[in-house]
């Protein structure tokens, strides 16, 4: 059933233009994905909702946008070059590669009912594989020109801590947030866009006095769950899982995952960690730059502790999609619907003249022109009105606006609600306010 549900969601993504396989007409590039016209709107809305909640809506957080390529020494200092590894094994028979630490969750590609190593194939001894993508900067391809595609956005924030302090009025406790692409040469990619090699992250590094780290950690655990709930994710599909002591990174004082119940099981959506003063201390030692904070009120100097909520955009996209998708029945007819929160819906309103004549298309286009100044809307005058509604239901459009003959007399339209198919009459002048208010989230 779960596989079936996931297959249906993947098929819907293709059919409606949410997600396509990268380079599909060349046979596809495994684990890389392209976002289509609806997908790009949904993704943008997810990122905007995060930015509003984490940055613009708060006086204590500012944003940054760092380059993907950074000085290679950054990755030595952060520990990624030495330690950002996963253990890998190969099957000597079919040559497939597996992550040695999650063999139970993987399948032999030749005998999918068996785990790797349980078929006739023998596995090699595990060896460490570094997940960093390497490239060369400039025309000469030698060791001195090696640079890395960043595997996380966080390091760009740490190395700019002093710049932000020197140029803004921020003082701890405060945060720096970033959204952007990250790259990891994962040994195994899985579950559609859940784990890929090129993905986007939204990370906050929240710098605070050491003594306040645990209260802030508790604060962000709750705030991050609230964000998902506020955008309509069902509470029964979300949970916080605390990391056991032996799971914690050596620099981490506490860590929890926000997990979502995907059709393929409970999986990490977001990590929230108390990274202590590890990152700033290491960069300070490596560069000789003083990254301590001097508190001119208490006259104390300390290196801030960091609380880090780190979320993958693509993973959040998939969770919102899985949570929103449902099949129900309208007037005895099956329908597929995406019940997105209006703030996330790729299209906010469909605009449909009832017929293609007698001045109704002209009114429809005028409404389209007005609303599209602020929202993404979709105009359609072709086909039976029921079919037009159904199509928008599967795109996740919360409202369909129908222009009919009464519109010519009293400047009102019907607004049909996606979730319960209720219809109400609204004046054209009230439409923008109606949508705006419901998109606030
Ligand atoms: N700076 C901390 C950090 O990067 P992480 O747990 O490795 O922590 C944070 O990554 C989030 O990024 C994950 O919770 C997940 O949502 C997303 N993420 C990580 N690897 C991913 C991958 N290969 N594909 C898609 N998303 C990924």
Is 105 a domain residue? no
Ligand 1 binding pocket includes 186 (Cβ within 6 Å): yes
Cα(179) to ligand 1 centroid in Å equals: 12
pLDDT of residue 2: 64
Judge if 147 and 62 occupy the same domain: yes
Tell me what the mean pLDDT of segment 367-386 comes to: 97
- Each residue of 62-77: pLDDT tens digit? 999 999 999 999 999 9
Is the C-beta atom of 153 inside 6 A of ligand 1?
no
Q: What is the pLDDT of residues 208-263, one digit of tens each?
A: 999 999 999 999 999 999 999 999 999 999 999 999 999 998 889 999 999 999 99
Instruction: Report residue 94's pLDDT band, with 50, 70 and 90 as the boundaries.
Output: confident
Neighbour tally for 209: CB within 10 Å: 16
Residue 268: its pLDDT value, please?
A: 97
Pair 397, 256 in one domain: no
314: CA distance to ligand 1 center in Å? 10
User: Residue 107 falls within a domain, yes or no?
Assistant: no
Nearest CA residue ID for atom 19, ligand 1: 312
Instruction: Check whether residue 243 and residue 158 sit in a common domain.
Output: yes
In a domain, residue 43? The reply is: yes
Indicate which residue's Cα is closest to atom 27 of ligand 1.
Answer: 312
110 pLDDT band, cuts 50/70/90, is: confident
Indicate whether 128 belongs to any domain.
Answer: no
Choosing from 321, 338, 358, the residue where a domain stops is: 321
Same domain, 182 and 316: yes
Is there an atom of ligand 1 within 6 Å of 315 CB? yes
- In a domain, residue 96? The reply is no
Can you tell me the mean pLDDT for 31-54? Answer: 97
Model pLDDT for residues 126-156, shown as the tens digit of each residue:
888 899 999 999 999 999 999 999 999 999 9
Distance in Å, CA 134 to ligand 1 centroid: 19
Query: Closest ligand 1 atom to the C-alpha of 194?
Result: 25
Do the domain assignments include residue 116?
no
Ligand 1 atom 14 nearest Cα = 270
Tell me: do 365 and 434 sit in the same domain. Answer: yes
Quick one: 43 and 176 in the same domain? yes
Which residues, 6+ apart, have CB-to-CB distance to 76 below 8 Å?
Answer: 82, 286
For 226, the domain range is 2-71+141-321
Rounded to an integer, what distance in angstroms lies between the CA atom of residue 385 and that of residue 228? 34
Q: Which of 285, 304, 321 is the last residue of a domain?
A: 321
| Position 327 in a domain | no
Q: Residue 250 has what pLDDT?
A: 86
Kindly state the percentage of the chain with pLDDT values over 70.
99
Residue 341 lies in a domain: no
Residues 12, 156 share a domain? yes
Q: pLDDT: is 277 or 440 the higher one?
A: 277
Residue at which a domain ends, from 321, 356, 382: 321
Distance 200 CA to ligand 1 centre (A): 9
The band of 49, judged by pLDDT with boundaries at 50, 70 and 90, is: very high
Nearest to 265 by CA among 195, 339, 182: 195
- The DSSP H or E segment spanning 44 is helix 37-51
User: Residue 346: which residues within 8 A CB-CB, separation 6 or more?
Assistant: 37, 38, 39, 41, 42, 45, 340, 376, 395, 396, 397
pLDDT band at 109 (very low <50, low <70, confident <90, very high): confident
CA 341, CA 397: separation in Å to the nearest integer? 10
203 lines ligand 1 (CB under 6 A): yes
- Give tens-digit pLDDT for 391-412: 999 999 999 999 999 999 999 9
Same domain, 11 and 159: yes
Q: Both tokens of residue 292?
A: 């301590």
The CATH number linked to 391 is 3.40.50.800
Ligand 1: residue whose CA is nearest its atom 6: 271
Kindly report the number of other CB atoms within 10 A of residue 169's CB atom. 8
| Helix and strand totals (H; E) in the chain | 13, 23
Considering the domain architecture, whether residues 303 and 356 belong to the same structural domain is answered as no
Count of domains observed in the chain: 2
231 and 309: one domain?
yes
- With a 6 Å cutoff on the Cβ, whether 314 touches ligand 1 is yes
CATH number of the CATH domain containing 276: 3.30.930.10
pLDDT at 101 over 90: no
Mean pLDDT over all residues of the chain?
A: 95
The confidence score (pLDDT) of residue 422 equals 96
Ligand 1 within 6 A of CB of 196: yes
* Domain match, 162 and 301 both: yes
Q: Does 359 lie in the same domain as 263?
A: no
> Is the model's pLDDT at 315 over the cut of 80?
yes
């Amino acid at each position: 059933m779960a596989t079936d549900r996931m297959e249906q969601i993947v098929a819907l993504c293709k059919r409606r233009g949410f997600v396509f396989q990268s380079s599909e007409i060349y046979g596809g590039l495994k684990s890389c994905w392209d976002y289509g016209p609806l997908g790009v709107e949904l993704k943008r809305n997810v990122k905007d909702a995060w930015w509003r909640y984490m940055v613009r809506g708060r006086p204590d957080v500012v944003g940054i946008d760092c380059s993907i390529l950074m000085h290679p020494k950054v990755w030595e200092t952060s520990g990624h070059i030495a330690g950002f590894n996963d253990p890998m094994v190969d099957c000597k028979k079919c040559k497939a590669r597996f992550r040695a630490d999650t063999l139970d969750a993987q399948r032999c590609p030749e005998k999918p009912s068996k785990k790797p190593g349980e078929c006739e194939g023998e596995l090699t001894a595990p060896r460490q594989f570094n997940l960093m993508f390497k490239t060369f900067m400039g025309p000469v391809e030698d060791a001195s020109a090696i640079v890395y595609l960043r595997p996380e956005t966080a390091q760009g924030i740490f190395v700019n801590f002093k710049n932000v302090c020197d140029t803004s009025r921020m003082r701890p406790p405060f945060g720096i947030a970033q959204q952007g692409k990250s790259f990891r040469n994962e040994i195994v990619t899985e579950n559609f866009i859940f784990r890929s090699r090129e993905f986007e992250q939204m990370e906050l590094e929240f710098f605070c006095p050491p003594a306040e780290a645990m209260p802030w950690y508790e604060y962000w655990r709750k705030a991050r769950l609230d964000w998902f709930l506020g955008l309509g994710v069902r509470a029964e599909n979300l949970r916080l899982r605390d990391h056991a002591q032996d799971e914690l990174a050596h620099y981490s004082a506490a860590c929890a995952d926000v997990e979502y119940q995907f059709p393929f099981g409970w999986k990490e959506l977001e990590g929230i960690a108390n990274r202590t003063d590890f990152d700033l201390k290491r960069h300070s030692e490596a560069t000789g730059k003083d990254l301590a904070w001097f508190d001119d009120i208490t006259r104390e100097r300390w290196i801030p502790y960091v609380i880090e909520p780190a979320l993958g955009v693509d993973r959040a996209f998939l969770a919102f999609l899985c949570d929103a998708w449902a099949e129900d029945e309208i007037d005895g007819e099956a329908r597929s619907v995406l019940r997105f929160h209006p703030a996330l819906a790729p299209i906010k309103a469909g605009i449909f003249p009832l017929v293609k004549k007698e001045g109704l298309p002209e009114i429809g286009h005028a409404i389209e022109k007005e609303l599209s100044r602020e929202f993404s809307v979709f105009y359609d005058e072709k086909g039976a009105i029921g079919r037009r509604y159904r199509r928008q239901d599967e795109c996740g459009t919360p409202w369909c606006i129908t222009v009919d003959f009464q519109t010519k007399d009293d400047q009102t339209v019907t607004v049909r609600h996606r979730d319960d198919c209720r219809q109400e009459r609204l004046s054209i002048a009230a439409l923008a306010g109606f949508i705006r208010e419901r998109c606030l989230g």
